[in-house]
Amino acid sequence: MAIFDWVRRLVGQKATRADEGFISGDVLPKVLEPTVFSVPSTSWPGTPFPETPNPAVTSPAGSEQTLVLEKLPEEFGRLASWRGSLILLVTSGSQFLDNVFMTSSNMALASIQEEFDVTSSNLQWMISAYTLTFGGFLLLAGALSDRYGKKKILCLGLFWLSVWTLAIGFGRSFIQLTVFRGIQGIGAAMTVPSAIGIISSYFTGVDRTRALSIYAASGTLGFCAGLIFGGFLTSSLGWRYIFYFIVIITGSLGVLGFIVLPRDRVDTKVRPQMDYFGAVLSTAGLILLQFVLSGGGVYGWDKPFIMVLLILSVGMLVSFVLWEKYVSNPLMPLPLWKIPNFAGLWVAGFTCYGSYQNVIYYIVLAAQQVDHLSAGDTALRFLPMGVIGFIVSLGTGKLLEYMNGKYLLLAGLILTVLAPVPSALTVTSTTDFWVNVLATSLISISAVSLIFVTTSTTILTTVPAEVKSLCGGMLNTAFQIGSGVALAISAATTEAVDIEKEHSVAQQYSTGLWCSTGLAGLGLIIGLIAVRRRGISPEDRIGGAVAL
C-alpha cells in the first residue's frame, strides 16, 4: 500500500479555477452549498443544473418530485497532464476491452463449434450470453457507481472481467463457456457507466468533449482490434489464447485504475436507502427482454414460452417505471426523461447502434460464407474499418467544439440509413469482399462513431454530475437493447421471406441488411422531430450546463 500511495503522490495534481475549466496541479477540493429543486410532475425546473452536484432524489406520493443537489468536494483536472492521461487510459481502455470481448469471440465461433460439436442454433449463445447480462446490468451498475463510487465499481468490474475471462480460457464444455460468458458480461456492465461518469466528472469544458471522443474512438478501435486479434489468434495459437492474453490487459488496467483514478467522495449522511426492489425489477426485466430478443429467432416467436417471457419482461419493465414514480428513493429518477433532447438522443442511440450491430453481423458472415475468407483474412480486410472509425470519432469530438450537436447527429443518422445499401445490393451478385463488404463497413463505422460521440457528449452535459454514471448506463442500455431488437427483427424477416422459401445465404443476408436500413430510417425521423438544437451547442457544453 505504501508503494501505491507513493505513486498516487507522484501523479497527483492541483486544480485551480481557470476561465474555461481547471489547470493542472495538486487536487484542491471545492465545497459548495446544497441546492434543492422542486420538480412538478409535468416539467423539469427552468434553472440550469449546476456543474458538480451530488443528488439525493426523493419523490413523495404526491404530484411532485424533489431533486436535492448536495454539493460535495470533487477532483478536477486537465487532459494535458500525466494524471489526466492515465485516467483516460484506464477509462478508455475499459471501453476498448468491452468491444474486444464482443468481436474477438465472433471470430472464434467456428473453432468453438468444431471443438465442442455445437449446433448452429446453439452457437449464438456464446455471444448472446454476454450481451444478456451486459445490457441487463447496465442500469443497476450506473446507479451503483453514482451511489457507492465510480472508482470502486470500475476497479471491481475490471477484476471481475479478469477472473471470468481466465475461466473461459480454461472452459471444458460449451455449457461452461456460455455460463462463464454470461457472468463475464456483468463485469463489462460495471465498467461502462463508471468510466463515463469518471470522465464526465473529472474533466470539464472542451477537455470533457475531447476525452469523450477519445473514449468513443477506443470503442471503435476495440471493435476492429477484436476482429483482427481474434482472427489471427484463432488461426495460429488457437481460440483459447484470445482469453489468456486479454486477461493480462484487464488485470493491468485494474491495478493502474486503483492507483490513479480520483478518489470516491460519497456523503453517507444524505444518501437514501437503495431502491433494491426497483433494481430487481429493472435488471430482471432487461435480462428477460434480451433473452426473448435473442431466443425468438432461434426457437421461434410462436413458441409459448417465448411469448410468456416477452409478456413477463414487458410487465416487469412497466412495473419498474410505475414503481419509480412513487418510491421515495428511485433508482432511475423519471424527471431525467423530461430534460430537453434526452429521450430523442436515447432513441437515436437505440436505432443507430441496433442497425450498426445488425450490419456488422451480416457483413462478417458475408465475408466468411459468401466470399469464403478465413478468419485471419477477414480480420485483415477489416483493418480500414478500424482506422476510419478512430479518425471519425476523434474528428467528431473536434467538430462538437464548433458545431451544434443536432447537425452531427443527423449526419450520423443519414449515414446509418445509407450504410447497409451497398452490401444489400451487391452481396447476391459477387463474392468480392472489396465490392460487397468494404463500402458498407466504412460507412457504418463512420455513422456509429458520429452518433456515439454526439449522444454521449450532449446527454452528459445536461444532467447533474452525480447521475452521469446512471445516464451513461441508460444510454448504453439503449445500445444493447437496440442490438437485440434489430437482430430479432431481421431474423424474423429473413425466416419468413428467405429461409422458408429456401433462398440462398446471400439473399438472406441482403434481406437482413435492408431491415437495418428500415430501422435506421425510423431513427432519422425521430431524430428530426425529437432533438432540438437548443441546449446542445458548443457554448452549452463549454459552460457545462444546459440553459433550459
Query: What integer pLDDT is reported at residue 21 of this predicted model?
Result: 35
What pLDDT does 374 receive?
79
End-to-end alpha carbon distance in the chain: 46
Which is more confidently placed, 277 or 40?
277
Across the range 349-372, mean pLDDT stands at 87
**Whole-angstrom Cα distance, residue 428 to residue 55?**
55
In this structure, what C-alpha cell is assigned to residue 381?
480486410
pLDDT at 55: 39
Report how far apart, in Å, the C-alpha atoms of 133 and of each of 127, 411, 432 are.
Answer: 11, 32, 37
Residue of 339, 290, 250 whose CA lies nearest to 487: 290
Please report, as a single letter, which amino acid is at residue 365: L
Q: What is the pLDDT of residue 280?
A: 87
Which of the given ranges, 211-225, 257-271, 454-468, has the highest pLDDT on average? Answer: 211-225
Average pLDDT across the chain, whole number: 77
- For residue 298, the model assigns a pLDDT of 67
Which of the four pLDDT bands, split at 50, 70 and 90, describes residue 420? very high
Q: What pLDDT is recorded for position 65?
A: 43
For residue 54, is pLDDT > 50?
no
pLDDT at 362 over 80: yes
Per DSSP, the three-state class of 128 is helix
- Give the pLDDT of residue 23: 32
Grade residue 449 by pLDDT with cuts at 50, 70 and 90: confident
> Among 7-11, 44-48, 216-220, 367-371, which is the least confidently predicted range?
44-48
The x, y and z cell numbers of residue 384, run together, are 480500414
Give the mean pLDDT of 93-113. 82
Where residue 539 falls among pLDDT bands split at 50, 70, 90? Answer: low
Residue 319 has pLDDT above 60, yes or no: yes
Report how far residue 60's alpha carbon sits from residue 387's, in angstroms, rounded to the nearest whole number. Answer: 51
Q: What is the mean pLDDT of residues 65-92?
A: 69
pTM of the predicted protein model: 0.75
pLDDT of 544 higher than 50 = no
Return the higher-pLDDT residue of 534 and 449.
449
What is the mean predicted confidence (pLDDT) over 314-335? Answer: 85
Q: Give the C-alpha distances (Å, rounded to integers) separating 429 from 111, 369, 423, 425, 436.
A: 28, 14, 10, 8, 9
CA distance 521 to 355: 10
- Residue 437: phi and psi, rounded to 5, are -130, -40
One-letter amino acid of 466 = E
Distance CA 378, CA 174 (A): 25
d(CA 430, CA 55): 57
Helix axes 205-235, 438-460, angle to 10 degrees: 140
- Tell me the chain's radius of gyration from C-alpha atoms: 23
Q: Is pLDDT above 80 for 247?
A: yes
Instruction: Quote the pLDDT of residue 268.
Output: 54
Give the pLDDT of residue 17: 36
Q: What pLDDT score does 540 carry?
A: 61
The pLDDT value given to residue 68: 40
Model confidence at 542: pLDDT above 70: no
Burial class (CB in 10 A: 0-12, 13-18, 19+), 499: middle
pLDDT tens, residue by residue, 14-50 = 443 333 333 333 333 333 333 333 333 333 333 333 3
88: confidence class by pLDDT, cuts 50, 70, 90: very high
On whether the CB atoms of residues 30 and 16 are closer than 8 A, the answer is no
Strands 53-58 and 64-71: antiparallel
CA 147, CA 467: separation in Å to the nearest integer? Answer: 9
In terms of average pLDDT, the best of 52-66, 144-158, 367-381 is 144-158
Write the DSSP string, 19-81.
Answer: SSSEE-SB--------EEEEEETT---SSPPPSSEEEEEE--SSSEEEEEEEE-------SSS
The pLDDT score that the predictor gives to residue 141 is: 86
Query: Which carries the bigger pLDDT value, residue 392 or residue 131?
Result: 392
pLDDT tens, 474-484?
Answer: 888 888 788 77
Q: CB within 8 A of 441, min separation 6: which ones?
A: 363, 382, 384, 385
State percent of the chain over pLDDT 70: 80
| Greater pLDDT, 244 or 533 | 244
